[in-house]
Structure 1
Amino acid sequence: MKKEEIIIDNTTGFVKGSYRLGSFIIKALWLQLLTVCYTLKGCLLLGLFPSITTSFRLVHQNFKEDLTAKELRQKFKHYYQETFKESNQVGYILTVLGLFLVIDLKVSSIYIQSVMLHMLLLVFFIGYLGVCLFIFPVIARYQLTTQQYLKQAFLLFLASPVETIAIVIALSLLGIIWTACPILLFIASIPMVTGVILWFSKQGILRSERKHLSNE
């Protein structure tokens, strides 16, 4: 049993709740700081996607196992190095694809002005945004190839309309919270966004896994 768990078990009521809250805040601050530091360590271009991927993996793991702040630091370094190549591959494939779709939408609306083409591009763009929402939860849960990550994220998006809407609403609410309390944007925005996306996407992932097992 961890030292923190022993301390919590020996306390009750308000003290116990305060300890858990304090521990959560410390870990959120650490995750925010580690994500920023490792992003800068990779000179932004090479550090951004591995840092985001690592944040999702650690929050996903914390759902199953209450990590200490020390474990958080150690595992961040390990996961960052472990996922450096694959997360950059996925991240920059999505970046290039997103730029391509945005340019196509601009060209379609200004020059081509075809309603059918524009609607088709919008459908593709919505699918692209869906993949972006689910790609990091998929990477956090599975060990796949780059192509399989993208495919799984797209299938999960199609199979999880309720969860997708919930994520969009929750992220909008976070925007309101940050507007009311801007300090949270700087000290805890990464764990807040990561936690929201993982919480709702996990429901869709578990449902898909149960369906897959029942079909076997």
Structure 2
Amino acid sequence: MIIINGLFKWVYDAGNWLSKVMYLHFLWVLFTLLGLGVFGISPATAALFSVIHKWFEEDFDIPIFKYFYSVYKTQFIKSNRLGFILIGIGIFLYIDINISQKYIQSFYVHLFLIIIIFLYFLTALYLFPVFVRYELKFFLYFKQSFLVALARPLETIAMIICIFLLFYLLKFLPILLFFAGSSIIAYPLAWFAFRACVQIEEKRLT
């Protein structure tokens, strides 16, 4: 009887988690579209990570829509500034690496750009988790994200591994991308970023 009750509880918890993850993805898509895509994706992503961060920090039963909409509305301008700078740097680095490959053709220049792109990628992994956890001056979000990535290499490596695994999972089951893509991608990234931040904070206190 205990085993049956435990099994039912596990099935219920799994179904509850899946329904909330799917609902959160629906909100992300909806509010991204409401912001006309380019103006909606960053605040929607900030709201997405905020809800997941709240799950880890406090309660899994928070009112998802109310909290999502609150973050989307209050952080709309700030998160867009963050997103546009991140995308702008990414485009700039993409152009640079193509120029280096086609015209400069210097091994050392190309290697330098690859290292910069890798560091940019690490910063991008932590940017929204750091944004929703801390209240910082604007450009310190980039610095803090970079420092957390370097300070907690195990969590950073785990995040990179997750990205590769999710790439193959979503390639194999693309229907997941349609029903819960943003949440499935954000959840493990938010979890490892959360662990990294907590570990750093605990070390500061000791």
Fold agreement, TM-score > 0.5: yes
Aligned to 1:90: 82
SS of the equivalent of 1:45 reads coil
Alignment of 1:45 onto 2:38: yes
Deviations 1:97-149 (A, max 9, x none): 11111111111121112222222211111111111101011012111122011
- Whole-angstrom CA distance in 2 between matches of 1:129 and 1:83: 23
**Equivalent position to 1:19, from 3, 12, 18:** 12
Unpaired segments ≥5 residues, structure 1: 1-10
Aligned to 1:128: 120
Once the two structures are superposed, the pairs formed by residues 63-82 of structure 1 within 5 Å of their partners are: 63-68=56-61, 71-82=63-74
- Whole-angstrom CA distance in 2 between matches of 1:73 and 1:27: 11
Aligned to 1:170: 162
- Whole-angstrom CA distance in 1 between matches of 2:11 and 2:133: 31
Aligned to 2:142: 150
Are 1:32 and 1:191, in contact at CA under 8 Å, matched by a contact in 2? yes
SS of the equivalent of 1:146 reads coil
Aligned to 2:131: 139
SS of the equivalent of 2:37 reads coil
- Whole-angstrom CA distance in 2 between matches of 1:183 and 1:113: 41
- Whole-angstrom CA distance in 2 between matches of 1:156 and 1:14: 38
Alignment of 1:54 onto 2:47: yes
Alignment of 1:104 onto 2:104: no
C-alpha displacement of 1:64: 2.5
Are 2:53 and 2:194, in contact at CA under 8 Å, matched by a contact in 1? no
- Whole-angstrom CA distance in 2 between matches of 1:128 and 1:180: 28
Aligned to 1:5: none
Are 1:108 and 1:114, in contact at CA under 8 Å, matched by a contact in 2? yes
Aligned to 1:3: none
SS of the equivalent of 1:117 reads helix
- Whole-angstrom CA distance in 1 between matches of 2:204 and 2:105: 43
SS of the equivalent of 2:84 reads helix
C-alpha displacement of 1:27: 0.6
Once the two structures are superposed, the pairs formed by residues 160-199 of structure 1 within 5 Å of their partners are: 160-199=152-191
- Whole-angstrom CA distance in 1 between matches of 2:163 and 2:108: 31
Q: Identity across aligned pairs (percent)? A: 35
C-alpha displacement of 1:160: 2.2
How many residues align? The count is 203
The alignment's TM-score, normalised by the length of structure 1, stands at 0.88
SS of the equivalent of 2:139 reads helix
Deviations 1:51-108 (A, max 9, x none): 0011001001011333437x10111111101111111111110111111111111111
The alignment's TM-score, normalised by the length of structure 2, stands at 0.92
- Whole-angstrom CA distance in 2 between matches of 1:66 and 1:206: 17
Are 1:27 and 1:68, in contact at CA under 8 Å, matched by a contact in 2? no
Unpaired segments ≥5 residues, structure 2: none
